[in-house]
Amino acid sequence: MRNCLIIVNAYKNECMDYAEIVKQYLETRTIRCTTFLFSDANHGCSFTGHDFCITIGGDGTVLFAARGCAPLGIPIFPINFGHFGFIASIQKREWAKQLDSFLEGKTPCSSRSLVQADLYREDKLVRSLTGLNDMVISPKESARLITLELSFCDNPFGKFNADGIIVSTSTGSTAYSAAAGGPIIDPALPAMLLIPVSPFSLSNRPLVLPPQGKLKAVVQPSRAQSVVLTADGQISVDLQVCDVIEFHLAKNKVLLAGCTSQHFYSALRSKLHWSGGNNA
């Protein structure tokens, strides 16, 4: 591997300082580096021509990188500077040792599913989005119910009145999905999760759906003036009444270095403050 893309969280000075250190470290190994500063206002990154990607930031930086790396098969080496680190698994105190192992092909990479949302308007595909964590349909205004007609593989679920819905991957089950009462799923399990957000009916419960098939949502008239589809909390698209959104697992998966099952369960114990053991 001779070409590296370094994606840096632009909001943290420490991340930018570390990026220069990592870049110099790689250049001593004759690896060419391109640095990209990721922020809410800067999404125009070119991923082509790189053999691997290093993210320096939190899980949000990895989410951004995953959408660009997955279609090209570029593995991600995620150095954690965030709070949770469910996805960004490489701790900053051990990045050099882990990076050497990665470059020598000794660090395992886990394959993670992404969820894809295809937006149809008047029977025409107008936008496709992917997300490593989730897709969310919600109102732009707070405290407004929206109405969606849902079905899976042509099996009708009926109309859902809620503050929105989350369609999550297994990886995203520890993110917004968990905060909304969804189950935590081992990220190795290829599945989609449907989680209503504050549903009007208590009978609307979270569902775990198989990897095959499509979940369809049709936007219905509601009191909300504006409804949006959001990918990973980073990219939003305005929706209209009668828009059809089809959710399914994306064809391409993302490769994440060091994101083993051991790291996942260790993160659950430490971040969610599980009790009952010496490591809790």
Closest CA to 280 of 264, 269, 267: 269
Q: Which of 17, 40, 51, 59 is catalytic?
A: 59
For residue 13, give every residue at least 6 positions away whose Cβ sits within 8 Å of its Cβ, in sequence order, or none: none
59 tagged catalytic = yes
Cβ contacts of residue 114 below 8 Å, gap of 6+?
Answer: 66, 67, 70, 130, 131, 132, 169, 249, 250, 252, 253, 254
Please choose, from the candidates 207, 77, 75, 88, the residue with its C-alpha nearest in 3D space to the C-alpha of residue 152: 207
Report CA-CA distances (Å) from 162 to 76, 131, 136, 202, 215: 36, 22, 12, 10, 17
Give which of 46, 82, 33 is closest to 61, Cα–Cα: 82
CA dihedral in degrees (186, 167, 86, 66; nearest 10)?
110
By annotation, the residues acting in catalysis are 59
